[in-house]
Structure 1
């Protein structure tokens, strides 16, 4: 469960996790999906201390989007998702890279 969550977010986390497990998703992956979804909703609602640009600019909620930008989609991750991954890996020059350049730098 994400730190700093309230009772509503705890229920939301458990519901998502159980739903994923019922679909046959392994427990660890189900927990990850639930935590990411809850964290994104917290960021969009202003409940989180920090939030990624993708979380704040997204017009659709995670539920409405239904995974259309998952890393397995036709176009793969968005530029912002690639940028966040590059930031975590501390790749130099990432801010001036386009989507394709970020993809190459990350080895995607």
Structure 2
């Protein structure tokens, strides 16, 4: 099987990779990089393609999906209250502007 061939993956794994890729693209990551990261995540969680052989039925490890929430907070903790307040005001203005643009 050539590198990059996705025929050994289940439909569920392909859907999962597509959702992850879409999420990265929505956050501004390039298409190629988003696809690379998505398949890396699927491989890490499920151990690669699962269509045939004794590899079927192994438990998936979802640690990578839970990782994001644990990383946050460090930047905010290092900033002064004035900097956090300015950031909050800027975010509120952006949300207000985006809401006005939708309607």
Q: Given the two structures, how large is their TM-score scaled by the length of structure 2?
A: 0.46
Query: Which one has a larger percent helix, Structure 1 or Structure 2?
Result: 2
User: Highest Rg: 1 or 2?
Assistant: 2
Q: Given the two structures, how large is their TM-score scaled by the length of structure 1?
A: 0.44
